[in-house]
Amino acid sequence: MTGLALRSLRHRPAAATATFVAVLLGTALIGTFATFVESALHLHGEDRTSLIVMGAVVGGWGALIVLYSVASTAGITATQRTAETSLLRVVGATPRQVRRLIGREVLVVSLLAAAGGSAVAAVAGRVLFGALRDGGMVSDGARFGGGPASVAAAAGLVVLTSCLAAWIAGLRATRPSAVAALRAAEIEPRGMHWWRAVVGGLLIAYGVGAAVVTLTVTRHSADPYDAMSTCGAASIYAGVGMAVLAPWLLRRFSAPVAALVGRTASGHLAAHNAARRSHLLAGVLAPVIVLTSGAIGTLMLVGIDNRTMHDPAQRADGRLINMLNYVVTGMISLFAAIVVVNAFAAVVAHRRTELRRLRLVGATRAQVRSSVVAEAGIVAAVGIVLGTLGSLTTVVPFAVVRHEGLVPDGQLWLPPAVAAAVVLLTLVSARASVQRATRELAG
């Protein structure tokens, strides 16, 4: 199985590259902040507290974001092979052999990527620690104490997550009989699991509840940063909640957006596919929502704080908090972008048979590309609208608490800028994926 896995990887460079990039960046990011925690164990006083806060807060959020990205990428690349694994079982492979094949492919790629990410983390941790010391975040006498232990722990966590995601995807693919799995690969699922509705609803309720608590309780606190602690992450929770409900949301909200592009042949086909293939395109919509909601909410939160905080002593404390906010936003943006690119590559790869049929019935390569790019436009538009609504759970309560009113006094250019970046990312990812697929079909 190991030899077969290695030969299979040579024929799947796109899927292997997607997993490799996610694991490498994930290991580098988690490992970098893990070195801060290890360094804090050798320090005392404020330096120890600051490093533990940075390692725990940023590293904790980073771990959740990274592990979701890695699990999503590994799961997508394994799930899109349902038809192939079913054929292997038809010709005699056992379910256990199929799971071992998928697992060993992911393990080989993850180990190589984790090794590279560990090397990056060892260097990045030391460089970032020096930057913190130069910036006054830690004292001049503080010494970097991160070593192989913290980096190896981060690498092991990421590799374990990717292998676990691949195992779950393989288990799901081999649970039904081979013939049933082959038929299921051609059927478009319409429903959504009940647990997604429960989890998504709870996360959205938590985000809205945090906003309400900020407006009714925390606004009376003497500490101006209590409001940030209650509503700062509300936009992320709300965004993740809507991302969990992405298949249902795409079916419900794609129609109004599709009406704007449905006057052409490509637009009509895109409108039809956006609703019919919501379970596939939801893998793109979910990170778009999280990216939009988290970026707008957190960046406008920091902007409001910078405009309204005038006490020098409290501004000193706010420097560390806002730096953590910037880092978390950067991590969310980076890994959401990775998931968007990987998800679109997987969606197009899954639909190669459909694209081939369109070419056979007379569609030109340009029409096929236009249709897929129009689908990406619909997904981006729905995601931006929903993500912007999610960001309000952070922006509105914090602006009210800091006496700027329902509409902040500045940075109103930020939501359109984020929306433009998200649209560009989604359209470029879609065009690159479909252009590669149509070129292969033509060849």
Q: Three-class SS of residue 186?
A: coil
Verify that 287 and 201 share a domain, yes or no. yes
Let me know whether 281 and 422 are in one domain. yes
Cβ-count burial 232-266 (b if 16+ within 10 Å, e if not): bbbbbbbbbbbbbbbbbbbbebbeebbeebbeeeb
pLDDT digits (tens, 9 = 90+) for 144-187: 888 888 899 989 988 888 888 778 777 776 765 655 555 555 55
* Last-in-domain residue among 187, 206, 234: 187
Q: Which residues contact 129 (CB under 8 A, 6 or more apart)?
A: 35, 36, 39, 138, 142, 144, 146
Q: Please give the DSSP secondary-structure letter assigned to residue 219.
A: G
Q: Output 278 or 393, whichever has higher pLDDT.
A: 393
Q: Which of these three, 187, 207, 239, is where a domain ends?
A: 187
* Per-residue pLDDT tens digits for 228-282: 888 888 998 999 899 889 888 888 887 676 666 556 666 666 777 777 777 778 8
Most confident among 50-64, 189-203, 234-248 (mean pLDDT) = 234-248
Helix ranges restricted to H, 245-277:
246-258, 265-276
Q: How far apart are CA 384 and CA 336, in angstroms?
A: 13
Same domain, 174 and 216: no
Of 207 and 443, the structure prediction assigns the larger pLDDT to 207
Same domain, 224 and 366: yes
Average pLDDT over residues 63-91: 67
The pTM assigned to this predicted structure is: 0.79
Distance spanning both ends of the chain, measured CA to CA: 31
Mean pLDDT of 340-347: 78
Q: Grade residue 390 by pLDDT with cuts at 50, 70 and 90.
A: very high
Which pLDDT tens digit goes with each residue over 74-86? 666 665 666 666 6
Q: How many domains does the chain have?
A: 2
| Phi, psi of 71, rounded to the nearest 5 degrees | -65, -40
Q: Tell me: the pLDDT tens digits for 18-29?
A: 778 888 888 888
**Do 175 and 201 fall within a single domain?**
no
Cα–Cα distance between 166 and 100 in angstroms, integer? Answer: 10
The answer to whether residues 302 and 179 belong to one domain is: no
d(CA 290, CA 333): 9
Instruction: Decide: 147 and 40 in contact? Cβ < 8 Å.
Output: no
Place of tokens 């990775």: 338
Residue 323: domain span: 189-443
17 and 47 both lie in a single domain: yes
- Regarding whether 116 and 259 lie in a shared domain, the answer is no
442 in the same domain as 324: yes
Rg (CA), the chain: 23
Question: If you ran DSSP here, which 8-state letter would residue 190 be given?
Answer: -
Is the pLDDT reported for residue 17 higher than 90?
A: no
Structure tokens at 85: 């694994």
Q: 260 and 324: one domain?
A: yes
The mean per-residue pLDDT over the stretch 381-400 comes to 94
Q: Confidence class of residue 201 from pLDDT cuts 50, 70 and 90? A: very high
Same domain, 144 and 202: no
The residues near 137 (Cβ < 8 Å, ≥ 6 apart) are 50, 319, 320, 323
Q: Is 188 helix (H, G, I), strand (E, B) or coil?
A: coil
Within this chain, do residues 261 and 136 fall inside the same structural domain, yes or no? Answer: no
Which range is least confidently modeled, 131-145, 218-232, 293-307? 131-145
Of all residues in the chain, what percent carry a pLDDT higher than 70?
79
Task: For residue 203, name the pLDDT band (cuts at 50, 70, 90).
Answer: very high
Angle between helices 13-40 and 95-134 (to 10 degrees): 50
- The whole-number pLDDT of residue 388 equals 95
